[in-house]
Chain A
């Protein structure tokens, strides 16, 4: 996939470019607003990662100009401004997602891939399967190695998100947003306790290690064990 990164901070550029290149994506960079807008309008990208504060042309202005030309490329806004109203401003200006600095690359990757998939309009799944874990989305039935597991609605949503991104580290913030329609950093173990309940249900069937805790980052659903 082809990604454009509009960002002026060299450290962030290195960090993001390295990460996406390792994942096999093709990433180009622009270090100011004008250049970013020029590239975004003249080339075809699957995703634009746009810093909020840029020299020459503010990120939100770049976004507004881009949308004004009818360009509908998904845009992920990066910003050091973490306040809710900044987030709302960014999304209102036509952004598709918003992330605050500092961020973990794993979270950026998940968000970026989600946005890029949306453009491809993959057919809706009716079933998710990771290893011997199977989730039927219509009947909301979950089986592990053939045994049915009864899940609470929130546990179901958590597991669904993890199964949609197998083998990927999913941050607590991502899980929180996926399950609850509230955007704030709860700074507590709310996600951990829900994961713990889920994990206990797996443990009863002898698959306790299916959900792995990644310290300092989040959780990962293992594909093969």
Chain B
């Protein structure tokens, strides 16, 4: 800002000087021509008269005749250049304290050199005033800018200090703290908004982890305490019972291990650490494998499982993971649809649906079921890790497939769409 004003003023100053020089030079050149003309046409006496009566407002003219100086000035400085070259020189005029600055040069005529000069001190004063004014203005601008900058940075600093203080509170565990967002909607508010958004996500995740930890504790505590009781009783068992008792404990332990395995692979799949072995897979073939595998399970629950396929579609996918995801969904349908229900596997082009007419799930739970370790049946009556659907969702996401749950009135429709 100050720099711009400075440059502007300097430019104006330069222009002013140039203009003045130009005008003086033009003026002096015109006078020079006039006196040269006069020297040629007039005799020596008339020339002297002309010089003596020259209007001092147009130009100050001095001619050194043989004896004395004729003209408006009482002296003729030495080493004056010949016009158009000019030089500035001071003279005393009127009072002793009146020093004037003149600019002028010599004209060589046949009667000798004539000095033609013009007053430039008024212009010089003007320029001097201009320069003074400019410097003052510049100083003022600098001071003003500094003052404003200081105030402005003070305001920014105050907000940063506030942000710092709040961040420290968050660091200490007050995760509900949020940065203030003002009405200004400036960059700081945008930053605060983003920061708050990150905090919201973090807080949600943190709560989810807390919930999950509780669930893990619940899920693993029960089988682990069973195990503990079982092991404690082992020495009292008779030889016949021992084998059976150990087998039961092994089964319990395998369930715990399966839960851990599922959690580990879920994390790996969700975070993309697991490398997918991609190969072209026929959805139709996978659905018939599904049907073949699950039919006997449905039969056991006195359910009917049916398969409908149309327009085969090839997806690039990891055979084992994708099949596991589809199998989990069919397994869930069979597990939760209840006795006598019917479960359908429907494949149409890039879409696979698993439809049952069981009790379905409440509409508010359609998102929740995909969360880790969430089970809609709080008694945990059915065997399972509670990670099935999270795993399904993670696997499908890695395959760019979309999964949606909808109501079959009654029952559940799970729709998977590959793209």
Q: Which of B250, B251, B264, B331 contacts A188 (CB 8 A)?
A: B331
**Given A84-B318, A193-B299; A215-B244 close (CB under 8 Å):** yes
Closest 3 CB pairs of A and B: A216-B247, A215-B247, A216-B250
**Given A190-B294, A193-B296, A215-B251; A184-B274 close (CB under 8 Å):** no
**Which chain A residue lies CB-closest to B300?**
A193
Check B247–A217 contact: CB distance below 8 A: yes
Q: Which of A143-182 contact B (CB under 8 A)?
A: 154, 180, 182
Chain B residues positioned under 8 Å from A215 (CB to CB): 244, 247-248, 250-251
A85 within 8 A of B: yes
Check A187–B274 contact: CB distance below 8 A: no
Complex-state Cα separation, A180 to B319, whole angstroms: 12
Complex-state Cα separation, A80 to B270, whole angstroms: 20
Check B320–A183 contact: CB distance below 8 A: yes
A186 within 8 A of B: yes
B254 within 8 A of A: yes
Give chain A's interface residues, CB within 8 Å of chain B.
82-85, 88, 102, 104, 154, 180, 182-190, 193-194, 196-197, 214-217
Chain B contact residues, majority secondary structure: helix
**Given A85-B274, A88-B277, A180-B293; A187-B247 close (CB under 8 Å):** no
Instruction: Determine, out of B7-15, B102-110, B215-223, B321-329, the stretch whose residues face the partner at the interface.
Output: B321-329
**Given A82-B261, A82-B265, A180-B289; A216-B324 close (CB under 8 Å):** no
**Given A85-B277, A216-B254; A186-B327 close (CB under 8 Å):** yes
Q: Which of B264, B276, B297, B385 contacts A187 (CB 8 A)?
A: B385
New A-B contacts (20) at CB < 8 Å, excluding given A83-B264, A182-B319, A216-B248: A82-B261, A82-B264, A82-B265, A83-B265, A83-B268, A85-B274, A85-B275, A154-B292, A180-B293, A184-B324, A184-B327, A186-B331, A190-B331, A193-B299, A196-B300, A214-B247, A215-B248, A216-B249, A216-B251, A216-B254
Complex-state Cα separation, A182 to B281, whole angstroms: 13
Of the four ranges (under 10, 10 to 19, 20 to 34, 35 or more), the interface on chain B belongs to 35 or more
Chain A residues positioned under 8 Å from B268 (CB to CB): 83
Complex-state Cα separation, A182 to B297, whole angstroms: 18
B257 within 8 A of A: yes
Best-buried of A102, A184, A196 by chain B (most CB within 10 Å) = A184
Check A190–B297 contact: CB distance below 8 A: yes
Q: Which of B195-246 contact A (CB under 8 A)?
A: 244, 246
Check A194–B249 contact: CB distance below 8 A: no
Q: Which of B323, B331, B335, B385 contacts A182 (CB 8 A)?
A: B323
Check B319–A189 contact: CB distance below 8 A: no
Chain A residues positioned under 8 Å from B254 (CB to CB): 216
B384 within 8 A of A: yes
Complex-state Cα separation, A78 to B331, whole angstroms: 29
Listed by A's residue number, 10 A-B pairs whose Cβ atoms lie within 8 Å are A154-B293, A184-B327, A186-B331, A187-B262, A190-B331, A193-B297, A196-B300, A197-B299, A214-B247, A216-B251
* Per-residue interface assignment for chain B, residues 263 to 293, with 1 indicating a CB less than 8 Å from any chain A CB and 0 otherwise: 0110010000011110000000000010011
Complex-state Cα separation, A60 to B274, whole angstroms: 18
B258 within 8 A of A: yes
Check A84–B297 contact: CB distance below 8 A: no
Chain B residues positioned under 8 Å from A194 (CB to CB): 296
**Which chain A residue lies CB-closest to B327?**
A186
Chain B residues positioned under 8 Å from A182 (CB to CB): 289, 319-320, 323-324
**Which chain A residue lies CB-closest to B335?**
A188
